[in-house]
Amino acid sequence: MTAWLRNAWYVAGFADEFAAGRPLARTLLGEPLVFFRGEGGTLVALADRCPHRFAPLSAGRVCEGGAIECPYHGLRFDGDGRCVHNPHGGGAIPKAAAVRSYVVRERDRLVWLWAGDAAAADEALIPDFSRVTSAPDDAAVRGYMPTACDHQLLVDNILDLTHADYLHAGSLGSGALSRCRPQVTDLGERSARVAWISSGDLAPPAFDMHLREQGQPTDQWTEVTWTAPGCMLLNVGATLQGEPHSQGIDTLNLHLATPETEGRCHYWYWTTRNFAVVNAYSRRSAATRPPLAAIACSRISGSSSESRLR
């Protein structure tokens, strides 16, 4: 059985997935949870299991005042997991009528869950991804893929991007990553950075087409910063050889992996670019994305992939 890191922040989703008045069920680190907006719209997360007869609270409703009502016999629980209403037997509230609550924070349009000891939850450890999440919608593409592997394999995939030269040879790979030596920087106990810097190679096809001249030697940078357990910020860009980076094209990409159950994880991505910043480009990207991503995006948004990825 996998021993996931507990005292750490995990992404639980995009903030706009969590609508007021609508409980959302999501399993993280093997634990079925219910998220809902309590009093004042504050997002809370509780174990998705009523202590009475174990009905899923996510099938219930959010009541006035921000408590969630169990769909089976009507016990209500507040954002701290305390039972605050019992419609039976004169309203007495049994001591054991409580559910586990989790520390949840919204930051930069993302929702974060602290999976361990609540007293140890340090908000300063939430990575700052505002450079990505504040990008205008017409310069961004985001989505979700339910993924049938441990989240550590996604981390492995993004931290070793030499696979792009082979797996994505027609789009994101040019051979430059395999030819240069990665620079690895230890950023402390929770983070590390890997960078591939090259000069003289052609840009990958997906980048070359957006440079001022095509088929020319370039300077390229690919840099990924990993924050444990599953957050990666990837910066990839290219410019004509010898020209400043500011004259080239640049992308910032979030890859966010959170364990769901044994052998499965949630995978959210969010990419921004400094070129082709028009709605039509994003719409075309969404239309040509592999079907799995499009299906997954429509699943979490309850709407079409087109609207999710706009």
Which of 5, 15, 55, 276 binds ligand FES (CB under 6 A)? It is: 55
| Binding footprint of ligand FES, residue count (CB under 6 A) | 9
Question: Is the Cβ of residue 93 or residue 228 nearer to ligand FES in the bound state?
Answer: 93
Backbone angles phi, psi at 167, to 5 degrees: -70, -30
Q: Is 70 in the site for ligand FES (CB under 6 A)?
A: yes
Cα–Cα separations (whole angstroms), residue 113 to 25, 82, 107, 181, 296:
14, 19, 11, 36, 21
> Minimal distance in Å, beta carbon 57 to ligand FES?
8
Which of 25, 41, 53, 169 contacts ligand FES by CB under 6 A?
Answer: 53
Determine the Cα–Cα distance for residues 231 and 212; give it in Å rounded to an integer: 33
DSSP string, 53-67: T---GGGSEEPTTS-
Regarding 50 and contact with ligand FES (CB under 6 A), the answer is yes
Please tell me whether residue 75 binds ligand FES under the rule CB under 6 A. Answer: yes
CB of 56 to ligand FES, least distance (A): 9
**Site for ligand FES contains 84 (CB under 6 A):** no
**Residue 52 lies near ligand FES (rule: CB under 6 A):** yes
Residue 46 interacts with ligand FES (CB under 6 A): yes or no: no
- Is residue 72 part of the contact set for ligand FES (CB under 6 A)? yes
The span from the CA of 92 to the CA of 85, in Å, is 8
- In a 10 Å sphere around its CB, with 0-12 CB exposed, 13-18 middle and 19+ buried, how is residue 183 labelled? exposed
* 61 touches ligand FES by CB under 6 A: no
Contacts of 179 (CB under 8 A, 6+ apart): 198, 201
Structure tokens at 250: 């640049």
Mark the segment that binds ligand FES (CB under 6 A) among 68-76, 219-227, 255-263, 299-307: 68-76
Q: How far is the CB of 32 from ligand FES (least distance, A)?
A: 14
**HSE-CB for 249 with a 13 A CA cutoff:** 19
Q: Which stretch binds ligand FES (CB under 6 A): 37-45, 73-81, 137-145, 238-246?
A: 73-81
Least CB distance to ligand FES at residue 271 (A): 42
Which residues in this chain contact ligand FES in the complex, by CB under 6 A? 50, 52-53, 55, 70, 72-75
